[in-house]
Chain A
Amino acid sequence: MNTMHATSQTTAKRRTTLTLPSESLAAAERIARARKVNLSTVIAEVINDGLRARRATERSGQVLKSYRQAFSRFTDAEMRLLDGVIMDEPLDR
């Protein structure tokens, strides 16, 4: 483990101390050197990407649950109605 200082990349920045796995930190340093940006920028981007992915996963689980609730316990005829197919004309009239 290495200890490092990181600055968050939001509009208001804050200095803090993080303890990170050495390998991850070395990889982040390599990326920062290659891109000619500072380490804080790379770490902030990685954190933002991770948070975005986590939010997307949480949101996708909620959406999936809502979708299943929206269409469960309906007969085929009822589902046709929900899909916009209205069959109200009796054929034997």
Chain B
Amino acid sequence: MVDPAFGPFLFDTSAESWLARSTDPAVRGWFEKYLKLHPVNVSAVTVLERMRGYALLLSRVANERRVQIAFARQAYLDALGTVWPIDAAVALVAAELVALLPQPPTPPKRAHRMAESRQERLARWRFDILIAATALVATLPLIHDNPEDFEAIRTAIEISPERFPDLGPLNLIRTLRLAG
């Protein structure tokens, strides 16, 4: 159990939606308590990923669902709390991480008969690096549901602290630990 009072936290893209969608009373209670204390902090990269998702969905669905998706997109923008920019400090940290970890630690995702392309996997990996760099610069613990990517980044920072002067460690909290 992570006390919401220890926040604010930076939320990775999938962690943010996981919290909002959870039907577990303990998770819902945790999120409600957190929101009374702090805004949801996300990277501008999360907004990018989310808005790209809504845009792709809008281009793929039948007309009758477009209103629902546009409404959901607007609701997301209304909910946004603190959005951290990709500034020079984040860019510098991310550049070091990309140089240290040029390739994603796991292969592209698969589900049913569809898979992520290598290009998409690499883009998602670099987005994760930018999110981790934001957490490091903002000195916020990162709430995530993607240990494969973020643990690799955390380890790289630990192994090469000289490349991240006055920063770190990267504090990671898995979503499953929040309320359980």
A: residues with CB less than 8 A from B are 56-57, 59-60, 62-64, 66-74, 77-92
Contact = CB atoms under 8 A, between A and B. Distances in A.
Given A56-B36, A66-B75, A84-B53, 8 more contacts: A63-B35, A69-B75, A71-B21, A84-B52, A85-B116, A85-B120, A89-B117, A91-B110
Contact of B20 (A56, A70, A90): A70
B111 A80 contact: yes
Q: 4 tightest CB-CB pairs across the interface, nearest first? A: A84-B49, A60-B35, A66-B79, A70-B76
Interface in B6-37: 13-14, 17, 19-21, 31-32, 35-37
A88 B17 contact: no
A79 B54 CA distance: 10
Given A64-B35, A66-B76, A84-B49, A91 B115 contact: yes
B114 A90 contact: yes
A80 B56 CA distance: 12
Given A63-B81, A89-B114, A91-B114, A83 B36 contact: no
23 contacts: A60-B36, A63-B40, A66-B78, A68-B20, A69-B71, A70-B17, A70-B75, A73-B72, A78-B57, A79-B21, A82-B17, A82-B53, A84-B13, A84-B127, A85-B120, A86-B56, A86-B117, A87-B110, A87-B116, A88-B114, A88-B117, A89-B117, A91-B110
